[in-house]
Amino acid sequence: MQAEDLYDSIRTGLIAMLPRLKRFADLLAGERRTGRALLSRALKSMLAGEHRYQRGTALDIWAFAEIYQQWLKELRDHAGQAKTDDASFERLFPNNSGETFDTFTAMFLSSLPPQQRLTLLLVYGERFNPVEAGQVLDVTPETVGARLVRVTASLADQLRERGPLPAGAASAG
């Protein structure tokens, strides 16, 4: 493939993946405004440096990894991450009338470090296997597996402690 065709394919692929990229960036940043700004900078970097894309790599794995690396770089540059508030995180979930909103799970996700949140997203949301999720987050598959067990078990513990909700309260999670 000639470089120009490859470049077009990357751009087309990124456009098609935008909703998934937004979800990734929003969950990484913990809120929408910061997530969109991060995604915008990461996309510019990806399009300016499409030569970094290695043939044979799945585009989604590459794009997620680029966003994550951009976030890490900015984290280092700014010496820390601003804490996001629960209300901003809750707004990541659509609040359409008639749909249930699982506040309990949303708050649980909000309390997690971004790396753990992304591990869950990549495996349970994107259906990546631990090897692929590890490629995005630059960790071993064993680390991905350990995070899944730890976080899922933690949520299960909290659900057990909370106990069953009274009838009619399910929508509040």
Binding flag, residue 159, other proteins (CB under 8 A):
yes
Place of tokens 């508030």: 85
Long-range contacts for 102-107 (Cβ within 8 Å, ≥24 apart)? 102/173, 103/172, 103/173, 104/158, 104/159, 104/162, 104/172, 104/173, 105/155, 105/173, 106/173
Contact string 42-61 vs other proteins (x = CB under 8 A): -xx--x-------xxxxxx-
Under DSSP, is residue 55 helix (H, G, I), strand (E, B) or coil? coil
Q: Give the number of other CB atoms < 10 A from CB of residue 30.
A: 22
Q: Which of 37, 82, 156, 170 binds other proteins (CB under 8 A)?
A: 156
From the CB of 126, what's the least distance to other proteins, in Å? 5
Query: Which listed residue (20, 41, 84, 90) binds other proteins by CB under 8 A?
Result: 20
The contact set with other proteins (CB under 8 A) reads 1-2, 4-20, 22-23, 26-27, 43-44, 47, 55-60, 92-94, 99, 101-102, 104-106, 109, 120-121, 123-129, 132, 145, 148-149, 152-153, 155-156, 159-160, 173
